Amino acid sequence: MRKSLLLLFLITFFGFGYSQLPSLPTIVSGNIQTIGQYYQEDTLINAALPDQLLGFNGFANINVQRGKFRTGIRYETYLNTLEGYPTTFNGTGFGYRYLTWGDEEVEITVGNFYDQLGSGMILRAYEERQLGIDNALDGIRLKYNPYKGVFLKGMIGKQRHRFEDGLVNGNGIIRAIDGEINFNELFDSLKTSKFKATLGGSFVSKFNEDNNTPLFNLPKNVGATSLRANLRYQKVRFNAEYVHKINDPYPDNLDERFNYIYKNGEGLLFNLGYSTKGFAIDLSAKHMDNMLWRSTNVSVGPTDLLIGFLPALTKQHTYNLAATLYPYATNLRGEVSYQADLLYKIPKKTLLGGKYGTSIALNFATSYVPKREFVNDLGSSRQSYTTSIFAMSDSILYQDINIEIKRKINKNWKFNVNYFNFIFEDRAVLVAQHHELIHAQIAVLDLTYRINRKHSLRWEFQGLWTKPTDELMTTSEGDVVYRKEDQGDWAFAQVEYTFSPHWYVAILDQYNYGNSEPKKRIHYGLISAGYINGSHRFSIQYGKQRAGVFCVGGVCRAVPASNGLTFSFTSSF
């Protein structure tokens, strides 16, 4: 059936395209990515050691465009899936195919497609391959622009759930309509106005019969609505969105108060920003309560069959210790969050700015559990609790205060200095080794020396420190000490040599020197090298990788400790 559908796509496209559009060029594009890892035994770090010893993930996209037609397929391979990657990816076959026809007014897509309505709270079908997320819709989408400045969209389909030698969809059906009005395009009198305004709204519903509990009568149809506005006046911008979801009971095995509750969900997101040359400020606020919803009511993996996306109000960190030890993960039950970003560039040729100027980025982000008044109604209406918009309890989930200073000293030297101050409630996300409230400080120094036009050296030094607890412990060496929070203190060092435009080599070491238990003070050494030629990139690395968490936009997956050889290849055409 799958092969027949793919063949039909190709015959339809090429047959119609060549007979009806003989003078138009055919444009072929695509990309390929592969990553493999050979695992070695390492009992010191409890490294993953699968029976097959080799994990391999790969995919290739091929897209063809001719006139108003576009079509494409993606071939995927997981033989066997890399450790830490979702086990719902397995085998080899076609996982994505689509056919699109469109002009300036109408566009129709059949097959698989990705889409997002507003901020994504009400619907986001997307792929994040590094996390193993792919909830593409499989169905039909229609876009229609009946008049200038008016944009309509409708779609229906099933979500991708698993990959087992090919695409496997979930049972639930997603139905969505969306409309947006750009007033500056709609009215000629506003085309040159400095005030820009766009309003939009969406309705999304799901239908599913995955009711596997005899205890409750679960709704088969669940709907959600949203309203959004994007406003801009010269250098000031304001965005807002409100989402409301009707009751959608879902199993929660960790807390009975949230298990199959029939409470409605709601989300509210604000963003206010101002930017000018050398200065920008951005303020955001988010209220999210019971907004987790999937196209099923059966317990599945944490990132499976998600309809909406719960946006993160934190800075996406790139430095190793800040990004992987205590990363922000959106609390699925709800949170009240705030974020502030301040960017400023000290002018060049000043005392503080230096010859080339100095950039300063200051960021503050925090999230709290919403203030809830729990009620004893789990034997009746199962609302469980009441709450109010932006009502915040004193239970902190996450706090991140960080500053980054970038400066070019002269034509050969430049540096980045970073400081991070974290408060991390791991009893809510369960990603650390000790589930407790963790206080961590991180400092980073990033130095680059340009030897000449093609050669450069980069050094990176990081340190992480946690607080001592009031808990006494006896170490394996017989000493009685106060245990430090989680794994204690870390040091990280890396040196990287780049020979432009093709080669680089790097050596790094992560050292858990401040672990309260001496036998766990382990070095995680790693050497890597790569070759880049245009759009082609090959890399190889060997060494230890510590257990950690990889996150993108508040969505995370755990990565087990490993020791061995990793190789990857990416290319596009």
Q: Show me where the domains of the chain are located.
A: 103-278+290-308, 312-521
Phi–psi pair at 42, nearest 5 degrees? -155, 90
Q: Which amino acid is at 202?
A: S
Closest CA to 517 of 559, 548, 562, 471: 471
Q: How many Å apart are CA 388 and CA 373, to the nearest integer?
A: 10
In this predicted structure, what is the pLDDT of residue 4? 47
Query: Could you tell me if 269 and 286 are in contact, meaning their C-beta atoms sit under 8 angstroms apart?
Result: yes
Q: How many Å apart are CA 55 and CA 37, to the nearest integer?
A: 5
Query: Could you tell me if 207 and 175 are in contact, meaning their C-beta atoms sit under 8 angstroms apart?
Result: yes
List Cβ neighbours of 14 (8 Å cut-off, separation of 6 or more).
none
229: exposed, middle or buried (Cβ count in 10 Å: 0-12, 13-18, 19+): middle
Alpha-carbon distance values, 485 to 323, 432, 448, 514 (Å) = 18, 10, 33, 10
In this predicted structure, what is the pLDDT of residue 87? 87
Neighbours of 299 (CB within 10 A): 12
Low-confidence ranges of the chain (pLDDT < 70): 1-22
216: exposed, middle or buried (Cβ count in 10 Å: 0-12, 13-18, 19+): middle
Region label for 271, one of left (φ > 0), alpha (ψ between -120 and 50) or beta (otherwise): beta
Q: Which residues pair with 38 in a beta bridge?
A: 54, 565
Alpha-carbon distance values, 151 to 5, 146, 178, 198, 202 (Å) = 31, 7, 8, 11, 12
Rounded to 5°, angle at Cα 322 from 486 and 435: 25
Helices (H), 276-350: 320-324
Return the half-sphere exposure (C-beta side, CA atoms, 13 A cut-off) of residue 200. 26
Neighbours of 191 (CB within 10 A): 11
Helices (H), 265-326: 320-324
Phi–psi pair at 558, nearest 5 degrees? -80, 140
Query: Could you tell me if 282 and 236 are in contact, meaning their C-beta atoms sit under 8 angstroms apart?
Result: no
Rounded to 5°, angle at Cα 68 from 63 and 71: 25
In this predicted structure, what is the pLDDT of residue 1? 47
Helix (H) or strand (E) run with residue 280 in it: strand 279-289
β-strands 150-164, 89-102 pairing: parallel
- Dig out the tokens for 294 from the structure: 């999937």
List Cβ neighbours of 278 (8 Å cut-off, separation of 6 or more).
344, 345, 347
- Dig out the tokens for 331 from the structure: 């609390």
Q: How many Å apart are CA 48 and CA 563, to the nearest integer?
A: 8
Q: Which residues pair with 76 in a beta bridge?
A: 59, 93
In this predicted structure, what is the pLDDT of residue 559? 86
β-strands 523-533, 413-425 pairing: unpaired
Neighbours of 105 (CB within 10 A): 10
Cα 465 → chain centroid: 26
Alpha-carbon distance values, 127 to 137, 161, 448 (Å) = 11, 12, 34
Q: Is the torsion defined by CA of 39, 41, 46, 48 positive or negative? A: positive
Closest CA to 111 of 102, 123, 99: 99
Phi–psi pair at 211, nearest 5 degrees? -95, 100
How does DSSP classify residue 57? E
Q: How many Å apart are CA 523 and CA 544, to the nearest integer?
A: 8
Q: Which residues pair with 167 in a beta bridge?
A: 163
Residues 375-378: contacts with CB within 8 Å, 24+ apart? 378/256, 378/257, 378/261
Neighbours of 535 (CB within 10 A): 10
Return the half-sphere exposure (C-beta side, CA atoms, 13 A cut-off) of residue 294. 23
Alpha-carbon distance values, 136 to 98, 127, 128, 560 (Å) = 11, 7, 11, 27
pTM of the predicted protein model: 0.90
Alpha-carbon distance values, 88 to 36, 48, 169, 560 (Å) = 18, 18, 11, 17
Cα 94 → chain centroid: 24
Helices (H), 71-138: none
Helices (H), 137-269: 183-186
Q: How many Å apart are CA 200 and CA 226, to the nearest integer?
A: 8
Query: Could you tell me if 510 and 490 are in contact, meaning their C-beta atoms sit under 8 angstroms apart?
Result: yes
